[in-house]
Amino acid sequence: MSMNKPPKGDKPPGEDKHPKGHKPSGKDTSAYLEPAENILVFPGFSSSCLFHGTFNRHGGVSPSPWNSNNVSFGLGDNSENIYANRKQIKTALGCKRLVSAKQIHGSRVHTVDESPADDLEIHGFDGLITNVPGIGLMIQQADCQAVLLFDPAKKAIGIAHVGWRGTVADIIAETVFSMGQEFSTEPTDIIAAISPSLGPCCAEFINFRSELPEALHGYQVRANYFDFWAISRDQLCGVGVRPENIQAAGICTCCNQDFFSYRRDRDTGRFASVIGVKKTED
Ligand SMILES: [Zn+2]
């Protein structure tokens, strides 16, 4: 074991989120675990027309190092395990289809405009939006953020995969703009949530001068460590989302062993964040 490993999670979620001297923007509302204990939900998304959740690494069937609820192909895990894990997620949420993005750290947004005959994984996109009921839009993570978006007025949703490259490309703004174009979503109506992801405690970027634009350098909480949760809040506010409508789990995936973390473990799985509009009885 390397001595340079980041600190392990000995603090409960929600504590020590913002190191001394750094003021995060916006208001924080912590997420909480559902009784199943592997689904984290956001209080702001308790609308009866919505299903959602961030699933932690537990409750699946994959062996080490993907143990156990790995949802991603291409990491060495057996596809049958991944199908079983995805099926378990659909059952837990009561959703008919999962549409996931095969993410590339870009800023393209895909609109799902009809219910597919089977689950779909769409290559080359980092944002997914829809207003079709019954479809769970899924982002796959191991330190990157999923930013979940819900427009209760138009009953439309979006989800974005936000790593540092996505932050630089402003995938959050692209996803909000796309909801405006496709569903006439007003940003002021949007409720947003930032999933568990790499926290300011562990987001060390020693090459930040070449990787991050100068406008983001002010988000350093100490030398070389950045608060990407605060950046995402500000990017959401920058496109018109109200600060009081933004909540963050405040859970660092690198500190918290219940989540996959690429930075902590490198060879590991991916966990899932999913959001969808419920199908009404007809
Ligand atoms: Zn951390």
Residue 79 has a pLDDT of 97
**pLDDT beneath 70: ranges in the chain:** 1-30, 35-36, 281-282
Residue 270 has a pLDDT of 98
Q: For residues 54 and 142, what is the distance between their CA atoms, to the nearest angstrom?
A: 12
Distance 62 CA to ligand 1 centre (A): 25
Residue 138 has a pLDDT of 98
Residue 30 has a pLDDT of 67
- Could you tell me the residue ranges of all domains in the chain? 32-277
Total-model pTM: 0.89
Residue 255 has a pLDDT of 97
Confirm if 250 and 259 have CB atoms less than 8 A apart: no
Residue 1 has a pLDDT of 32
Distance 182 CA to ligand 1 centre (A): 36
Distance 227 CA to ligand 1 centre (A): 11
Distance 65 CA to ligand 1 centre (A): 20
Distance 144 CA to ligand 1 centre (A): 12
Distance 200 CA to ligand 1 centre (A): 7
The CATH label, of 1.10.275.10, 3.30.565.10, 3.30.70.1350, 3.60.140.10, for the domain at 32-277 is 3.60.140.10
Residue 260 has a pLDDT of 98
**pLDDT (tens digit per residue) in 158-208:** 999 999 999 999 999 999 999 999 999 999 999 999 999 999 999 999 999
C-alpha dihedral sign at 138, 127, 107, 22: negative
Confirm if 228 and 219 have CB atoms less than 8 A apart: yes
Distance 241 CA to ligand 1 centre (A): 26
Residue 143 has a pLDDT of 97
Distance 91 CA to ligand 1 centre (A): 31
Distance 252 CA to ligand 1 centre (A): 5
Distance 277 CA to ligand 1 centre (A): 32
Distance 152 CA to ligand 1 centre (A): 32
Residue 184 has a pLDDT of 98
Distance 213 CA to ligand 1 centre (A): 23
Q: For residues 122 and 109, what is the distance between their CA atoms, to the nearest angstrom?
A: 10
DSSP structure string for the chain: --TTPPPP--S-TTSS-S-TT---SS-----EE-TTSSEEE-GGG--TTEEEEEE-S-S--PPTTS-S----SSSSS-HHHHHHHHHHHHHHHT-SEEEEEE--SS--EEEE-S--SS-EEEET-SEEEE--TTEEEEEEESSSEEEEEEETTTTEEEEEEE-HHHHHHTHHHHHHHHHHHHH---GGG-EEEE-SB--TTT-B-TTHHHHS-GGGGGGEEETTEE-HHHHHHHHHHHTT--GGGEEE---BTTT-TTS--HHHHSS---EEEEEEEPPPP-
Distance 167 CA to ligand 1 centre (A): 18
Residue 92 has a pLDDT of 94
Residue 28 has a pLDDT of 55
